[in-house]
Structure formats: structure tokens, C-alpha cells
Amino acid sequence: SMEVVLVGRSNVGKSTLMRQLTGHTFDTGRNPGVTRRPNHYDWASEDFVITDLPGFGFMSGVPEETREQIKTDVVRYLEAHAEKILVGVLVLDGKAAVDIIDRHLEREELPHDVEFFSLLEELGIQPVVAVNKIDKVEDRDQRLDEIADRLGMMPPWTQWQDVIAPISAKQGRIQALQDAVNAQFEAAKQEELK
Ligand code: GDP
């Protein structure tokens, strides 16, 4: 079956989201950098496999070298499996993402989230951005517009609901993500029929 991958910085809530999507329990929080290998699971309600890839970026207590290696491994996995991967879910912390991106841009560094969004596109993997922890965000439309903008999508974000999915994994509010991923699957099916 088709594969969906989950990528994102450490601590954005990937394990919490995986638990919601698959019904499995994952080790959350405690040991950053612990999910080193790709984990494959069935998406509970759908006919596809979901692969959780290790979180990258800053993790307290994890040396720079290890973090770089984790990131390299994630990139290699995506490159090696691009053909079979239909959707790449980039999970963001909706509360923190814009500040982190802007801080990197100010230093003229390529932010991880921007880098991975572009990488998915370059590899022909349809990105879907799961903007997690939306329960902590007050000015949601404004924040989602900023995220769209930073990733190269013209605001308003509401034009991009098949790509941008505000969710709260913790509260189990993930319907927007299910809808976006399903919309991308439907679009791919239509494309095949042409
Ligand atoms: P991971 O490192 O990406 O796997 O992140 P975790 O799933 O371990 O979550 C990191 C922290 O964020 C934990 O304290 C979670 O309880 C919290 N978290 C995850 N999802 C949400 C969410 O939707 N809202 C809020 N407020 N917190 C969340």
C-alpha cells in the first residue's frame, strides 16, 4: 500500500500524533532523539502505511554531531523511498514554528522546516503541513497565514486547506489532517486516471 511519512523537528508532537493516527502507544517526551529508526504502522482508518521518522533539530542533551546524523538519515530515507511515498506530513509546533523560522532567517540560515518542505517538493512527495498544538495559539488565522507565507504559499492559508492542516494531537483533534491527506490521495488517483 501507499506510504505516508511523518517528519518534523523534535518535540513538535510527532509521537502524540502517531498515537492518535495508529492507536499504538509511543514513547513520548522523555528521551529526545530516541526514535532513531523509521517505524512503520497502519493508519487506523485508512489503507496506507504511515512511517514515523526521527525528529531533528535541537534536542537538549543530544550532541550536534548526532543531530546532524539523524537529519542526514531522514533525508536519505526520503530520497530512497520517494517513489513509494505519496504524502509527506511535515509536523510543526504551531506556537513556536514562526519564531524559530524567523530566527534562522535573521541569521541567514535555512530553517529546517523550510528545508524539509522544499525537499519533499523536490522529491515529488506532496507535502501536507500539520500545524500542531493549535490549542495553544490564540490568533489562529494570522499564525496560519504566517506559516503559509514562510513556506512559500500565498496567504490566506484557507486557500491551502489540502496542504495546511491545523490540529491538536493532544486533544485528538486531527480531522483536518485526515481530510488533507485524503484529498491528496484522491487527487493522486484522479491524476492516475488521466
Ligand atoms: P515528539 O518529540 O515530536 O514526538 O513530541 P511528543 O509527542 O513527545 O510531544 C512533545 C510535547 O508536546 C509533549 O509534552 C506533548 O504532550 C506536547 N504536545 C503534543 N501535541 C500537543 C498538542 O496538540 N497540544 C499541546 N498543547 N501539546 C502537545
Distance 80 CA to ligand 1 centre (A): 29
Closest by alpha carbon to 134, among 163, 165, 104, 112?
165
Minimum-distance ligand 1 atom for the alpha carbon of 8: 3
- Band (pLDDT 50/70/90 cuts) for residue 193 is confident
The residue whose C-alpha atom lies closest to atom 15 belonging to ligand 1 is 13
Distance 81 CA to ligand 1 centre (A): 27
Identify residue 134 by its one-letter amino acid code.
I
Q: Evaluate whether 113 touches 90 at the Cβ level (below 8 Å).
A: yes
The residue-averaged pLDDT of 144-158 equals 98
Distance 167 CA to ligand 1 centre (A): 12
Minimum-distance ligand 1 atom for the alpha carbon of 28: 8
> Is pLDDT above 70 for 29?
no
- Band (pLDDT 50/70/90 cuts) for residue 168 is very high
Q: Which residues line ligand 1 (CB under 6 A)?
A: 8, 10-16, 28-29, 55, 132-133, 135-136, 168-170
pLDDT confidence of residue 8 = 96
> Is pLDDT above 60 for 1?
yes
Distance 129 CA to ligand 1 centre (A): 16
- Superfamily name and number for 3-171: P-loop containing nucleotide triphosphate hydrolases (3.40.50.300)
The residue whose C-alpha atom lies closest to atom 13 belonging to ligand 1 is 29
Gap between the Cα atoms of 88 and 32, Å rounded: 22
pLDDT tens digits along 112-132: 999 999 999 999 999 999 999
Q: Where in the chain are the domains?
A: 3-171
Which has the higher per-residue pLDDT, 16 or 60?
A: 16
Task: Please provide the distance, in angstroms rounded to a whole number, between the alpha carbons at the two ends of the chain.
Answer: 21
Gap between the Cα atoms of 40 and 35, Å rounded: 12
The best mutation among 6, 9, 11 to test binding of ligand 1, ranked by most ligand atoms within 8 Å of the C-beta, falls on 11
